[in-house]
Structure 1
Amino acid sequence: MKYAIVTGASKGLGEAIAKRLINEQMAIVSVSRTENEDLKNLAQEKGTYYRHFSCNLSLEKEVQEVFMEIAHCIFLKEPTEILLFNNAGVIEPIETVGNLDLTPTVRNFKVNVIAPMMITNIFFKEAELSNTKIQVINVTSGAAERPIEGWSVYCSSKAAINMFTQTAALEQMEKNNNNKIIAFSPGIMDTNMQETIRSSSKEAFKNLEQFKDYKEKGMLRPAHVVANALIDLILSGDVESGKVYNVNDLLK
């Protein structure tokens, strides 16, 4: 049986990914600080395996403990494949360099970089002891590839996760196993992250009005459209390990 682990599954893209996978009759492990009751109810309705784990991804010890428990629970079931969606992420702090606050800066890297690295490390290590195939999907951003004023921390953390993805892919290929790891850039979506961006100040974020226009002009894609494009790619079996995929290319 295939299992999917989705971080940040309580809302936005994570929720949309989990819903699509439940409808595909895949076993789901939801990870977020609060549980999404709609996912639980949908899984019950569809008769699929579902379990939620609460975890604060900015706390390294908690990440290690929770995901070791998740790995133990899943590998006992001898799954044929595990899909690991490192989807949870934060954009704050939105601020220019020289005005950055230490606490949200450190939290950004813990959630956007350290947590996905630790989680991937746990599952690749456990997979070496079994015949289970692991596919890791790291949600990244176009901000990883270009500088955006006010987003120095977010741009840097997403650039780091892209490089981690590419390096880990090379290592798995060298081991000649079936594991794959990719990054996925979801573009601009109608999610809480966009609300956070629009609530920032013009002094901290030069492109504020542009992002307000995205919302006002209906340019933000619904999360389920982005999630479906990603899941269609994963289920196609035609994934190139180490590649950074962009939703715009998948929706052409």
Structure 2
Amino acid sequence: MRYAIITGASRGLGEAIAKRMLQEQIAVVSVSRTENEEIRKLAVEKGLFYQHYSCNLSLEKEVQEVFMEIAHCIYQKNPHEIYLFNNAGVIEPIETVGNLDQTPIIRNIQVNLIAPILITNIFLKKGGQTGTTVHAINITSGAAVRSIEGWSVYCSAKAGLNMFTQTAALEQAEMKTNNKIIAYSPGIMDTKMQETIRSSSKEAFKELEKFLDYKEENKLLKAEVVANALIDLVLNGSAESGKVYHVSDLIK
């Protein structure tokens, strides 16, 4: 049996990934603060294993406890393959350096970088003990490779996630495992994160007008389109471990 663990599965890209995986007859473990009932209903319709776990990804102790429990539950079922989607992310704080508050800085780094590292570490360790193949997919951003005024923390966290992806993949290759680790930049999607960006101030975020235009001109990608491009890549076996993919590479 194949299992997908998806953080931030209650909405947006995470929801779209979860629904597509269920359509592919892959069992789903959803991780988010709130549960998406549509995902549960779809799993029941498909007759597939589904479990939801609530977790605050900004609290490392909670992340460690919840994902150790998830790993214990899934590995007991002797899975053939595990797809780990580190999808959850936060954009805040949107502010210039010198005007940042400590709490949102720490939360951003915890959710966007530390949680994916902790989670991937748990599953690669367990996978190594059982021989289960793990496919880790880290959702990154174009902001990882482009400096954006007002996004210093988010840019830094995503840049760190890219480097973690590349380094971990290098290690797995050296150990000659079957595991794959990739990063995926989903582009500019029509999600709650975009709403947060559009509600920021021009003083804090210099490119605000550009992002308002994306919405006004209907240039935002649908989460389902972005998810399908990613899942096609992951399931067809062509993904190159250590590579950072962008949605524009996959949607022609």
Fold-level match, TM-score > 0.5? Answer: yes
**Aligned residue number for residue 202 of structure 2:** 202
3-state SS in 2 of match to 1:200:
coil
- Name stretches of at least 5 consecutive residues in structure 1 with no aligned partner: none
3-state SS in 2 of match to 1:77:
coil
* Amino acid across the alignment from 2:22: I
Deviations 1:118-159 (A, max 9, x none): 000000111111110000000000000010000000000000
- Within 5 Å, give how 1:140-155 maps onto structure 2: 140-155=140-155
**Aligned residue number for residue 176 of structure 2:** 176
Counterpart CA distance in 2 for 1:220 and 1:169 is 31
If the length of structure 2 is used for normalisation, what is the TM-score? Answer: 0.99
* Amino acid across the alignment from 1:130: T
Counterpart CA distance in 1 for 2:52 and 2:159 is 29
**Cα shift at 1:46:** 1.4
Counterpart CA distance in 2 for 1:100 and 1:139 is 24
**Aligned residue number for residue 42 of structure 2:** 42
Deviations 1:148-182 (A, max 9, x none): 00000000000000000000000001111101100
**Aligned residue number for residue 17 of structure 2:** 17
**Aligned residue number for residue 26 of structure 2:** 26
**Cα shift at 1:44:** 0.7
**Aligned residue number for residue 61 of structure 2:** 61
**Cα shift at 1:23:** 0.8
* Amino acid across the alignment from 2:165: T
* Identical-pair percentage: 73
**Cα shift at 1:49:** 1.0
- Deviation above 6 Å: which 4+ runs of structure 1? none
If the length of structure 1 is used for normalisation, what is the TM-score? Answer: 0.99
**Aligned residue number for residue 94 of structure 1:** 94
**Aligned residue number for residue 123 of structure 2:** 123
* Amino acid across the alignment from 1:220: L
**Aligned residue number for residue 105 of structure 2:** 105
Counterpart CA distance in 1 for 2:143 and 2:239 is 22
Greater shift, 27-36 or 42-51, is seen at 42-51
**Cα shift at 1:190:** 0.2
**Aligned residue number for residue 226 of structure 2:** 226
How many residue pairs match? The answer is 252
CA RMSD of aligned residues (A): 0.4
Counterpart CA distance in 1 for 2:199 and 2:185 is 23
**Aligned residue number for residue 251 of structure 1:** 251
**Aligned residue number for residue 215 of structure 1:** 215
